[in-house]
Amino acid sequence: EEDGYDLWLRYRPLAGAERAAVLRQARELVAPALPSPTVQAALAELRRGVQGMTGLAPADGKRARAGAIVLGTPASLPPALRPTGLDRLGNEGYVIRRIAGATVIAAHTDTGLLYGAFAWLRAVGTGVAPHRVDERSAPRLQQRLLDHWDNLDRSVERGYAGESIWDWWGLPGVRDPRYIDYARANASLGINGTVLNNVNAKPEILTAPWIAKAAALADVLRPYGIKVYLSARFSTPLELNETATADPLAPEVAAWWRRKADEIYRAIPDFGGFLVKANSEGQPGPQDYRRSHADGANMLAAAVAPHGGIVMWRAFVYAAENPVDRAKQAYDEFQPLDGRFAPNVLVQVKNGPIDFQPREPFHPLFGAMPRTPLMLEFQVTKEYLGYATHMAYLGSMFEETLQSDTGHAPGLTVARVIEGAQAGHPTGMAGVANIGSSRTWSGSHFDQANWYAYGRLAWNPQGSSRAIAREWVAQTFTRAPRALDDIVVMMMDSRDAVVNYMTPLGLHHIMGTGHHHGPAPWVAELARPEWNPVYYHKADRGGIGFDRTASGSNALAQYAPAIARRYADPATTPDTLLLWFHHLPWDRPMPSGRTLWAELVARYDLGVMQARGLRTRWAALAPFVDARRHAEVAQRLDVQVEEAQWWRDACIAYFQSVSGLALPPGSRPPA
Ligand code: GCU
C-alpha cells in the first residue's frame, strides 16, 4: 500500500519494453576502487532504483562495457571514457553521457557522482529512455539549505507534519534510519545543508551535549553531501553565564564565540556555520548594545572564518519602533549597511517584505545591496497558505519571486541577484522545511511537491515550476499522460486559488491571529498595531488597501525607480498587487468593467470555484492513483473547499460591514 513515505524516490516496477530497456542499460555498476561512503551511497541508490524498476539488481562490474553504468572522476576514468563537458563543472556538477554503449556518470567529486546517480534515476523515472539520458548540470547557488524550525523539545514552529524528525533524546547514540532517507531525499535534489534548529534559538543548542547530538547527525548526513548548520541565539554566552555581556564589540564576547566555534569544529570538522535571527520579534541582538547588524554578524563571522564557516544573518526584522509600515523596516535597517559585512556573511532575505504571505511583491532589498551577498529565504511549510491541508503548489510562487525584475539593472531578476550577479560569492537559498515525523514527511502528499520544487529551484533558480511539477508527478504519482497533465494543471492552479479565496488583489496578513489559519480581517485590538489585520487592509467606509505610495508610507521608494514609478499609479500596478500598494475607493472602476468592490467579491467567488475545481479534477483521477493516497488527498480537498467558502463568506461579510455595500448583482451567494 502506498503511504507516501518513499516520496518521489519510489522506483516502482516497470513492465514490458520499458523494463527491458532499463535492464539492458543497467546490467552492472562500475565504480572507482575503494569507493568512499558517498560513492557507496550513489551505488546503493542505483541498485535500489534498478532493482525496484526491474526486479533485478545490477551486478558489480569491474570494467566499463556496454550496458554498464560507470561512475568516475577524471582521475579514475580511463581517457577513453572521460566525457566532454567536465570543464567548469565545479565541485558539485555532473555529466551523464553514453560512451561506447556504457552510461558514464562523471564529476570532479564524489558528491557530484551522487547527484549524477540521482539525476539518472530521475530521468528514467520521468520516462526518458535509459540509452538517451544525456545531461550536464551544475548548481547555480553554493548554499542550498533547508532551515528546520525545530525546537529542542521536538515541537516544530509552524510545522504541520508532526514532531521534529530529530529525535534529540535518542541522539547522539540512537541514529534513526529515517535520517538516511531524509539525506537521500535531499541529495536527490542537491540540497547540501540543513539548519537543525529553530531560528528562535535556545542557548542550550551550543552546549556540549547538544553539539554532540548535532555531530551525530552530521556524521549520518555527510556521505550525502549535506552539511550541518545551527541557529545561534545572539545572547548565548551571556545567558549561559559565561560572559557578563553579549555586546559584539566586547573582547570577551568575541573570544567566547571563537572558542565556541573551535569546540564545534572539533566535533564537526565540516560544520557549515550559524544562522542568526537578531533584534526581531523579541530576539536579542547587537542593537541591544547600540551596535549594528554588521557588528553582530561580523563578530560571529570572525569566529567561524578560520574554519571556512559562514554566517547567515536574517534581514527579517520588525519591531514596534516602526509603527508606520512594517514592510519598510528591513530595508531601512539593512540597506545602509551595504558593503559593511565580512566576506563570509550572507544576509538572508525573505521573498517578500512582510512575511511569507500567499502573494507578496519581491523584497526591495534584492538588487539594492550590490556589495553584499544576499540569500533568499522561502517558506516551504505553509504557515499562511492552509497548513498541510490546503493544496497549494509553491513552485509557481517561488518562480514568480525569482523571475521578478528588480529594476536595478537590465535583466537583474531576483534569481540573478542571488546567483551573485552583483556581489559575487558566496551565494545561497534557504527553505523553511515542511518536514516532520508524519509518515508522508510533509503532512500531506502534495506538500512533498513543495520540498521537491524548493530543492530543484535552489539548484537552478532559473528553473520552470511547471517542468518541475511534471517531474514530480511522473515520479510520485503517474506517468499516464492524461492523468499527469491533469495533476500538473491542478498544481499550477492551486496557489492562485488560495490567493483568490484568502487575499485577492494584493490583500495580506488578514489571517487569524497567532496561528494564521483562517480569516480574521476584523481583528483590531492587539497590543502592537502591526499584529492587527486591520493595519494591513485599512478598509473603511471609503475604500480598501494599504497606501504605500508617496501619499502613504512610501515603501514604494525602496524599489528601483522604474518599479517605483510603475507601481505609483494604480493603473499600471499589476492587479495582483493593487491593494498592497494602494488605498482605493470601493467604486473605482477596474479593467474588467466592475467596480473594485465587485471585483473583490468576484475574486473571492473565483477562489471558491477554483477550490471546487481541484476537488472535481481529483475525483476523476481515482483510476490513476492508488486508493490510499487518493483518499487522503480527497479528504484534504473537501476541507479546502469548505475553508475556501469560509474565507470568502467571512471576508465579504466583514468588508460589507465596514463599507455598507450590498453584494454586487450576479455575485454567487454562499453555497
Ligand atoms: C513568522 C512566523 C514566526 C517566525 C518568524 C521568523 O513571523 O510566524 O513563527 O519565527 O516568521 O521567520 O522568524
Say how many Å lie between the CA of residue 198 and the centre of ligand 1: 10
Would you say the CB of residue 157 lies under 6 angstroms from ligand 1? yes
Domain 499-546+583-659, what fold? Answer: Alpha-d-glucuronidase, C-terminal Domain (3.90.1330)
pLDDT at 321: 61
Percentage, residues of the chain above pLDDT 70: 99
Amino acid occupying residue 95: V
Atom number of ligand 1 nearest to Cα 283? 13
What's the rounded Cα separation, in Å, for the pair 360 and 401?
A: 8
User: Which among 266, 278, 497, 257 has a CA at the least distance from the CA of 397?
Assistant: 497
Percentage, residues of the chain above pLDDT 90: 96
Cis bond upstream, residue 223 (ω within 30): no
**Backbone phi and psi for residue 97, each to the nearest 5 degrees, phi listed first:** -140, 150
Q: Which of these CATH numbers, 3.30.379.10, 3.90.1150.10, 3.40.50.720, 1.10.20.60, describes 16-137?
A: 3.30.379.10
pLDDT at 528: 85
Contact present, 446 and 430 (Cβ < 8 Å): no
pLDDT at 668: 66
Atom number of ligand 1 nearest to Cα 200? 10
Would you say the CB of residue 382 lies under 6 angstroms from ligand 1? no
Across residues 220-249, what is the average pLDDT? 98
Domains of the chain, by residue range, sit at 16-137, 143-447, 499-546+583-659
**Backbone phi and psi for residue 375, each to the nearest 5 degrees, phi listed first:** -105, 145
For the chain, give the longest Cα–Cα distance.
80
Angle formed at CA 53 by CA 47 and CA 58, multiple of 5 degrees: 35
Would you say the CB of residue 316 lies under 6 angstroms from ligand 1? yes
pLDDT band for position 527 (cuts 50, 70, 90): confident
| Nearest residue by C-alpha to atom 10 in ligand 1 | 200
Atom number of ligand 1 nearest to Cα 383? 8
Mean per-residue pLDDT of the chain: 97
617-658 pLDDT, tens per residue?
999 999 999 999 999 999 999 999 999 999 999 999 999 999
CB within 8 A of 359, min separation 6: which ones?
397, 400, 499, 503, 506, 508, 576, 577
> Residue with C-alpha cell 483590531?
524
Across residues 261-280, what is the average pLDDT? 98
Which residues, in sequence order, are bridge partners of residue 273?
229, 310
Would you say the CB of residue 199 lies under 6 angstroms from ligand 1? yes
Say how many Å lie between the CA of residue 315 and the centre of ligand 1: 12
Give burial (CB, 10 Å; 0-12/13-18/19+) of 571: exposed
Across residues 221-244, what is the average pLDDT? 98
392-435 pLDDT, tens per residue?
999 999 999 999 999 999 999 999 999 999 999 999 999 999 99
ipTM value: 0.99
Across residues 201-219, what is the average pLDDT? 98
Say how many Å lie between the CA of residue 280 and the centre of ligand 1: 9
Please state the separation of Cα 77 from the chain's center in Å.
36
Say how many Å lie between the CA of residue 149 and the centre of ligand 1: 9
Question: For residue 575, what is the DSSP state?
Answer: G
CB within 8 A of 560, min separation 6: which ones?
367, 368, 406, 407, 408
Q: Same CATH fold, 499-546+583-659 and 143-447?
A: no
Atom number of ligand 1 nearest to Cα 157? 9
User: Which among 325, 217, 314 has a CA at the least distance from the CA of 275?
Assistant: 314
What's the rounded Cα separation, in Å, for the pair 466 and 662?
A: 40
Amino acid occupying residue 176: D
Across residues 572-585, what is the average pLDDT? 98
pLDDT at 318: 84
295-350 pLDDT, tens per residue?
999 999 999 999 999 999 999 998 766 677 999 999 999 999 999 999 999 999 99
* C-alpha cell read off for 314: 536574517
Query: What are the catalytic residues?
Result: 281, 355, 383
Inter-CA distances, 393 with 261, 359, 451, 488, Å: 39, 13, 10, 10
Would you say the CB of residue 200 lies under 6 angstroms from ligand 1? yes
118-146 pLDDT, tens per residue?
999 999 999 999 999 999 999 999 999 99
Give burial (CB, 10 Å; 0-12/13-18/19+) of 25: buried
Asked whether the predicted pLDDT for residue 671 surpasses 90, the reply is no
User: Element (H or E) spanning 647, and its range?
Assistant: helix 627-659
Across residues 179-190, what is the average pLDDT? 98
pTM, to two decimals: 0.98
Would you say the CB of residue 531 lies under 6 angstroms from ligand 1? no
The SS3 call for residue 103 is strand
Rounded (10°) angle between helices 251-267 and 208-221: 40
What's the rounded Cα separation, in Å, for the pair 149 and 380?
A: 11
What's the rounded Cα separation, in Å, for the pair 417 and 148?
A: 24
Contact present, 501 and 611 (Cβ < 8 Å): yes
CB within 8 A of 487, min separation 6: which ones?
473, 477, 478, 621
Say how many Å lie between the CA of residue 643 and the centre of ligand 1: 23
What's the rounded Cα separation, in Å, for the pair 248 and 284?
A: 12
- Choosing from 197, 281, 513 the residue with most ligand 1 atoms within 8 A of its CB, the one to mutate for a pocket test is 281
pLDDT at 1: 83
**Backbone phi and psi for residue 392, each to the nearest 5 degrees, phi listed first:** -150, 105
63-82 pLDDT, tens per residue?
889 999 999 999 999 999 99
Atom number of ligand 1 nearest to Cα 158? 9
Across residues 234-262, what is the average pLDDT? 98
Would you say the CB of residue 459 lies under 6 angstroms from ligand 1? no
pLDDT at 163: 98
| Nearest residue by C-alpha to atom 7 in ligand 1 | 355
Rounded (10°) angle between helices 110-125 and 178-189: 80
Would you say the CB of residue 158 lies under 6 angstroms from ligand 1? yes
Say how many Å lie between the CA of residue 499 and the centre of ligand 1: 20
* C-alpha cell read off for 561: 525607480
Contact present, 447 and 331 (Cβ < 8 Å): no
Architecture of domain 143-447: Alpha-Beta Barrel (3.20)
Contact present, 316 and 347 (Cβ < 8 Å): no
| Nearest residue by C-alpha to atom 11 in ligand 1 | 355
Say how many Å lie between the CA of residue 128 and the centre of ligand 1: 41
